[in-house]
Amino acid sequence: MYVGEIEVRYDPKTIEARWQSIWERDGAFKASRDAQGAKYYVLEMFPYPSGKIHMGHVRNYSIGDVLARFLTMRGCNVLHPMGWDSFGLPAENAAIQHGIHPANWTRENITNMKTQLKRMGLGYDWDREVATCLPDYYKWNQWIFLKLFEKGMAYKKRSSVNWCPSCLTVLANEQVEDGLCWRCSTIVDAKELEQWFLKITAYADELLDCTYKLPGWPEKVLVMQRNWIGRSEGAEVSFKVDGTDEAIKIFTTRPDTLYGVTFMSLAASHPLLAKITTAERKADVEAFAAKVKADRRVNRGAGEEIKEGVFTGAYCINPLNGDRAPVYAANFVLMEYGTGAVMAVPAHDQRDFEFAKTYGLPVRVVINPPSQTFDTDAMECAYADEGVMVNSGRFNGMKNTDAMKGIVKLLEEKGVGKGSITYKLRDWGISRQRYWGCPIPIVYCQACGAVPVPYNDLPVVLPEDVSFTGKGLSPLVESPGFIGVKCPKCGSKARRETDTMDTFVDSSWYFLRYCSPMATGLPFDKKDAEYWMPVDQYVGGIEHAVMHLLYARFFTKALRDLGLHGFDEPFTNLLTQGMVCKETQKCPEHGFLFPEEAAGGKCGRCGHPVEAGAVEKMSKSKKNVVDPDKIIEKYGADTTRLFSLFAAPPEKDLDWSADGVEGSYRFLGRVWRLVNENLSAVKGVKAYDPRPGGVLSSDAQDIRRITHETIKKVTHDIEERFHFNTAISAIMELVNALYIFNPCRDGASPEDAGLRVFMESLNAVVALLTPFAPHIAEELWEKLGHTTALHKARWPVYDEAALKRDSVLVVVQINGKVRGKINVPPGSTEDAVRGMALGDEKVKEWTRDKTLKKFVYVPNKLVSMVVS
């Protein structure tokens, strides 16, 4: 290489510290409404301050930072904030286990993690930092709660709730996965409790409809939300219980099959069961109910069970045809959905069919397929498709789809039913029997009942003088100073609510607080919110597809209806990044091993050869984790970021590979040397400018073309596709080409056009690298003689003229096989290309003595000939 340079080693540690402090000094990432350019709000899901950042964070925040830095360089007015989802169970557990107060534990973790994020070189506007555990923030949770309470959107009810016996708290339905607690995987119990609920169901339709207006979201997430909301249209029908005043209310999506009802199924926990069961059936029904309850606990999520039931002795009357149908309790009917009772139409519902076969109940066909008549005895399964109505009174002969409306109308006329819509979505239970959360601002008074804390008294601050035993109820219950309060209404002795809010409440509006973190009169300033919102690009893990993203959407709509802002949806575009995975390592003796325990392929404890396991999501339990701190320590933040972006496209899972990190480090070293080793040669050289021009050698012309092609590709890959991996590989190719080009011969004058092209290319490499590896880019930018820092510089724009080629390579296929390649001037006519193709020596060999049957020309790309 170039002789006479003083070798300057690539030393990420020094460079990175230096630029981080310069950025801080310059306030490089401070966002302001008054700044120039179109607003762009980039947001990554804020972390829970568990102590240390992990590779998932590194990936998440690297992706966000690429976008934020790129868009800033593109001239956008970017808001890129960060904060802490800092209420939650781990802090309380730490208090119980180590005697540290949750507030202190959380504060320390935030300090540590903030340092880590800064060391990553992430460009956040820290002036907007929010921490949900601070009274400044959670005061507004309480404020919002009171507003919702006033509107009847927050209400209290006694109901069966999901209780996690390990977390000692209630869980929302969304927080129960396969019957297990989403956090600790303990089997969830049912428990009757008085709880606060938010009426998310009031927004069920809007939440559902808007999923069709979010083209920037992954279809997968939208489908999951739609399924979760689970809207079904149908009818509610009342069936009188024969000989009593009771009526069973059912929900059905198939009112057209009403004439085919041959029995009735109630959930085993249906409240009517006790009333209608006859004396002689009582013992059986109770035993059955107990069995179902026990099975649910053991078998939840286990899939299809055998359909079982027991006769109650009661009969109900079909309101349309007066038929008497036996009432059963059945294990497949869920109390939580619809009305907990199902009319059974075995001919047209598979579950009812199986049940009827088991218990010898009649099957009555009311819909025949278009050109077929069912023989009831020969049916092997239910017929759930469309057809023609039979055995259905005045509806006979109609298409069932047409009869549907008529039957609902008839029900309404008779006053025995009505059209109805049911959702799977339940109201959101937000009460948590925990200390480390936002207090619910309610006071209980003997005389006045549940009284809201006056707005002036907000925030209801969490008391610090509590003890953490891990036993019994929430520490707040034991805090007399907190509990003892006077009724805001009548002044008599009252008791404060001791439940705190689900932490998902905190994260349902934090993106709004970022817009005006200092707002004092309201949770956020309307003008600020309407300027910055909605978030243009939200980046986070797929695990929040339903819970957080649904709650945040709900809050956005609820706050809109409180008049706080005027938009409908919080997140225009959503990017769900894949998980960070790594191969597990196992010792037959000692189980899973951390990477450092498996050094040299042997178990650190017993020396047994390590067995390689599957590639799985990084987790402490599998010990296949890599500590970002150690990677940053060894290679620097730029390498760490670069690798996490290069190894896979963002939405896919990423396989962590130590060798791959090494490769990214090597590449940055290569860029470093490319600039440094040629520094004295390019000193004072002006980047090539095509206007005054200068004659370029064909090599220089090629390099210039590659440079501008790279600018075009990298821009496109970041902007349109988020394919950072291919963007980075394009930069690598340019660097490889520049190593070969190398015009820095001794004595090349600064006016040398080749040298000026080289300078232009070096500038491009460095600028293009900025979003991925910002520190090294800034350092090299400075070394190249720029006086304006890169973070204030503009993204390079490609020169259309530079992309032009003298000739293009056209592939010649003969009978579908590549037989030759020819260079033709771009834009050649088909006739000209045909002549050149047929004149090519190799092509001649393959076409000799053959006749040309077909000739296809794809301009500037390919010729395809068929010969025989």
Segment 512 to 571, residues that bind RNA, using CB under 7 A: 542, 546
User: Is the CB of residue 517 less than 8 Å from the CB of residue 30?
Assistant: no
253 contacts RNA (rule: CB under 7 A): yes
Q: How many other C-beta atoms are found inside a 10 Å radius of the C-beta of residue 223?
A: 12
Tell which positions 734-753 bind RNA, by CB under 7 A: 736, 739-740
Q: Which amino acid is at 296?
A: R
Which residue type is seen at 710?
Answer: T
Please give the C-alpha separations between residue 299 and each of 164, 294, 296, 329, in angstroms, as whole numbers. 17, 9, 5, 19
Applying CB under 7 A, which of residues 108, 150, 177, 845 lies at the interface with RNA?
Answer: 177
- Nearest of 796, 656, 652 to residue 724 by alpha carbon: 652
Taking CB under 7 A as the rule, does residue 622 contact RNA?
A: no
Regarding 493 and contact with RNA (CB under 7 A), the answer is no
If binding is defined by CB under 7 A, does position 659 make contact with RNA?
yes
The single residue among 242, 284, 627, 653 that binds RNA, judged by CB under 7 A, is 653
Nearer to RNA, 342 or 559 (CB): 342
Measured CA to CA, the distance from residue 811 to residue 455 in angstroms comes to: 75
Nearer to RNA, 473 or 818 (CB): 818
Q: Which is nearer to RNA, 234 or 754 (CB)?
A: 234
Nearest residue (CB) to RNA, 230 versus 609: 230
Cβ 325 to RNA, closest distance in Å?
A: 14
Q: Does 499 bind RNA (CB under 7 A)?
A: no
Q: Does 455 bind RNA (CB under 7 A)?
A: no
3-class DSSP assignment, residue 40: strand
- Judged by beta carbon, residue 482 or residue 665, the one nearer RNA is 665
- Considering only the C-alpha atoms of the chain, give the largest distance between any 2 of them, rounded to a whole number of Å: 111
Binding residue (CB under 7 A) for RNA from 419, 649, 694, 785: 649
Site for RNA in 386-445 (CB under 7 A): 422, 424
Q: Which is nearer to RNA, 51 or 663 (CB)?
A: 663
Count other C-beta atoms under 10 Å from residue 835's C-beta.
12
Question: Which one of 89-97, 462-470, 727-735, 750-758 is the stretch in contact with RNA (CB under 7 A)?
Answer: 727-735
x/- site string to RNA, residues 207 to 226, per CB under 7 A?
A: ------------xx--xx--
The rounded distance, in Å, linking the Cα atoms of 70 and 771 is: 6
Between 234 and 452, name the residue whose CB sits nearer to RNA. 234
The two structure tokens encoding residue 814: 């003969």
**DSSP-assigned letters across all residues of 301-331:** TS------EEEEEEEEE-TTT--EEEEEEET
Minimal CA–CA distance to 815: which of 839, 847, 791?
847
Question: Counting contacts by CB under 7 A, is residue 254 touching RNA?
Answer: yes
What is the spatial distance between Cα 329 and Cα 341, in angstroms, rounded to a whole number? 9
Least separation in angstroms between residue 33's CB and RNA is 36
Residues 803-822 that bind RNA (CB under 7 A): 809, 811, 813, 815-818, 821
Which residue in the set 657, 719, 803, 842 belongs to the binding site for RNA (CB under 7 A)? 657
Question: Collapsing DSSP states into helix, strand and coil, what is residue 191?
Answer: strand
Residue 856 binds RNA (CB under 7 A) = yes
How does 583-619 read in b/e, with b if 16+ C-beta sit within 10 Å? ebbbbeeeebbbbebbeeeebeeeeeebeeeeeeebe
The answer to whether residue 635 forms part of the interface with RNA (CB under 7 A) is no
State the minimum distance, in angstroms, from the CB of residue 706 to RNA.
11
List 47, 49, 123, 234, residue binding RNA (CB under 7 A): 234
The C-alpha atoms of residue 1 and residue 3 are separated, in whole angstroms, by: 6
d(CA 106, CA 92): 10
Only one of the segments 39-47, 65-73, 731-739, 828-836 lies at the binding site for RNA (rule: CB under 7 A); that segment is 731-739
How many chain residues bind RNA (CB under 7 A)? 83
Rule CB under 7 A: say whether 733 interacts with RNA: yes
Residue 576 vs 770, nearer CB to RNA: 576
The pair of structure tokens assigned to 727 is: 């963007």
Whole-number minimum distance, CB 530 to RNA, in Å? 34
Cβ 576 to RNA, closest distance in Å?
10
Contact set for RNA, span 178-197 (CB under 7 A): 178
**777 contacts 763 by C-beta, under 8 angstroms:** no
648 forms part of the interface with RNA (CB under 7 A): yes
For residue 173, the 8-state DSSP code is G
State the Cα–Cα distance between residues 627 and 629, nearest whole angstrom: 5
Q: Which of residues 308-367 bind RNA (CB under 7 A)?
A: 331-335, 337-340, 342-343, 349, 351
Shortest distance, CB of residue 439 to RNA, whole angstroms? 30
Cis peptide bond prior to 534, omega within 30° of 0: yes
Q: Which is nearer to RNA, 516 or 639 (CB)?
A: 639
Segment holding 500, helix H or strand E: strand 500-501
